């Protein structure tokens, strides 16, 4: 298997790690890519980006009230 962040993963395709990555593990290495798409086009001064690990996505929320979402243009 492959060790990543202190956890052992089996050889082959890993659909989702605890850190929201999709990986492929072989006997020589592990390669991963993120499930996340980075948000853009939001007010950096009024809003902040937080990781929602349950959905494997970023939330863009108001700095002074994180229960409220901020508008954004899109994700890349």
Tokens of 3: 């060790």
Q: pLDDT digits over 13-22, tens only? A: 999 888 888 9
pLDDT at residue number 52:
86
Domains, in order of start, for the chain: 2-34 (no CATH), 39-71 (2.20.25.590)
Average pLDDT (9-31) is: 91
For residue 31, the Cα-to-chain-centroid distance in whole angstroms is 15
- C-alpha gyration radius of the chain: 16
Q: What is the number of alpha carbons within 13 Å of residue 20 lying toward its C-beta?
A: 12
For residues 2 and 8, the answer to whether their CB atoms sit within 8 Å is: yes
pTM: 0.63
């Amino acid at each position: 298997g492959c060790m990543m962040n202190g956890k052992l993963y089996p050889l082959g395709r890993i659909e989702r790690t605890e850190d929201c990555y999709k990986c492929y593990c072989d006997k020589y290495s592990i390669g991963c890519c993120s499930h996340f798409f980075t948000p853009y086009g939001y007010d950096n001064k009024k809003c902040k980006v937080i990781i929602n690990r349950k959905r494997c996505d970023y939330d863009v929320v108001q700095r002074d009230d994180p229960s409220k979402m901020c508008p954004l243009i899109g994700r890349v």
